[in-house]
Amino acid sequence: MASFIRNLRFAQKFSLISLLAGLMLAVPTVIFVKVNLEKISVAQREVSGLGPMQDLMKLTQLSQPHRGLSAVVLAGNAAQAAARQAKESEVSQALEKTQTSLGGLNAPALVQSLAKIQSDWKSLSSAVSAKSVSPADSFARHTALIGEQLSLAEDVVNETGISLDPNAAGFHLQAAVLQYMPRVTEGLGQIRARGAAILGKASATPEDKVRIESLATAIRASMASANKSFQLAAKANPTLLNNLGDALSKAISATGDGLQLADQHIVRAEVLNHPSAEYFAAMTRTIDVQFVLINAAFDALRAQLNGTAAYAQRELVIGCATVAIFLAMAIWIMVVITRTTLVSVNQALQVARSVAAGDLSGAIDTRGRDEIGNLLQALDAMQSSLIRVVASVRQGSDSVANASAEIAQGNNDMSARTESQASALEQTAASIEELNGTVRRNADCAREAKR
């Protein structure tokens, strides 16, 4: 591996480093994107369940007074027949609307449950219209039908994941509006239906009073739990109190008034002479106040879930933009580093080749402060030293050449003088020879003269 890396060119090495850095960045980026997309998907799925939930709550809101009106009509009060028929039509329309909204969830099991509710409703409404069912049986069947509606609402909550909302405000808010408040409205609805029937016949058994009192106790417990959940949600998101505080106070107050009305005119009353229609209307107003709170809570929950989805989307966009910016910066820095490094290395290589070829005239850029820059500075210093050495050698060579020339000139002068002296010696020798000859002749002449 080390040998392989050593044999790579610098550009290939930097490309390999860039690839590894990209892979290291890609893994956490993919995880980040996946987590935020999942958050968005969960929030959107939860929001998609709010529409069907509201339709189911509206269906329950309409089914509950139909139960009471049916009990009154079946007990012999024909004056409420038209109101019951109108309410029956409203329930049928609400069922159709719920079927449409529930179909958008793509959950066959929920659609199947609603189909059973529709079948039970048709059977029950037909029996009430034909007066072929007793008031007690009508009440029991209505209560079972409303129980199916509330059970379907719980299934919608579980199917869409609303009950598992990770946000504290959303979790407590959905618990209040989807778990506790339906119990409050259903308990009040039962008290309304039972109380209206009791007051219609102006008699109540001890069991009737105990049943209403038990319902009142359960309602108070459910309202207390709902109020606690609302407060916990508001603690996590204080703005909820601004939107729900007034509706919550009115709902708590109305619940107390409704339970007091039932306690005063039914549970503790010795003579049941309170008008049934007046009691029914008063309890209906009490229940309507609860649904005002429920609808406001639905709006707040929808805003909360939309806010969660929007926050996740913003976080995703900001995160991706940040990664893109840092990735662009990393690529730019890598390109700059690669380019400057290759330029410096190529310059150092060119300088080394020029020096090897005997060319010391090349200019070296020594502005860098990294290792390659230090190498170039060392090469520049080496080149400067070589230039000084060469200059010194050249200067020494010139001195030697000058000295050699002077010596040669001296030799030439000495040679000329030697030749001149030799010529003079030759002339002197010739003169001496000539003198010797003259002397000999004079000697010969003298000898001859003596003879």
The pLDDT value recorded for residue 20 is: 78
The pLDDT value recorded for residue 249 is: 94
The pLDDT value recorded for residue 362 is: 67
Q: Do 88 and 66 form a contact (C-beta atoms < 8 A)?
A: yes
The 3 state secondary structure assigned to the chain is: CHHHHHCCCHHHHHHHHHHHHHHHHHHHHHHHHHHHHHHHHHHHHHHHHHHHHHHHHHHHHHHHHHHHHHHHHHCCCHHHHHHHHHHHHHHHHHHHHHHHHHHCCCCHHHHHHHHHHHHHHHHHHHHHHHCCCCHHHHHHHHHHHHHHHHHHHHHHHHHHCHHHCCCHHHHHHHHHHHHHHHHHHHHHHHHHHHHHHHHHHCCCCHHHHHHHHHHHHHHHHHHHHHHHHHHHHHHHCCHHHHHHHHHHHHHHHHHHHHHHHHHHHHHCCCCCCCCHHHHHHHHHHHHHHHHHHHHHHHHHHHHHHHHHHHHHHHHHHHHHHHHHHHHHHHHHHHHHHHHHHHHHHHHHHHHHHHHHCCCCCCCCCCCCCCHHHHHHHHHHHHHHHHHHHHHHHHHHHHHHHHHHHHHHHHHHHHHHHHHHHHHHHHHHHHHHHHHHHHHHHHHHHHHHHHC
Q: CB count, 10 Å around CB of 118?
A: 15
d(C-alpha 69, C-alpha 290), whole Å: 19
pLDDT along the chain (451 residues), means of 10: 68 73 79 81 82 90 91 85 93 94 89 94 93 91 93 90 81 89 93 90 90 95 95 88 87 95 92 90 94 90 82 85 84 79 76 75 68 73 78 78 78 76 75 76 73 62
Longest dimension (CA), the chain: 221
The pLDDT value recorded for residue 180 is: 93
Q: Do 148 and 186 form a contact (C-beta atoms < 8 A)?
A: no
At 113, give phi and psi (nearest 5°). -65, -40
d(C-alpha 322, C-alpha 282), whole Å: 59
Q: Please write the tens of the pLDDT for every residue from 382-397.
A: 877 877 887 787 787 7
Find the radius of gyration of the CA atoms of the chain: 57
The pLDDT value recorded for residue 262 is: 94
The amino acid that residue 131 corresponds to is K
d(C-alpha 216, C-alpha 281), whole Å: 18
Q: Do 56 and 159 form a contact (C-beta atoms < 8 A)?
A: no
Q: Do 91 and 69 form a contact (C-beta atoms < 8 A)?
A: no
Q: Do 167 and 308 form a contact (C-beta atoms < 8 A)?
A: yes
For 18, the token pair is 């860039």
d(C-alpha 315, C-alpha 35), whole Å: 11
Q: Which of 396, 343, 337, 388 is nearest to 380 (CA)?
A: 388
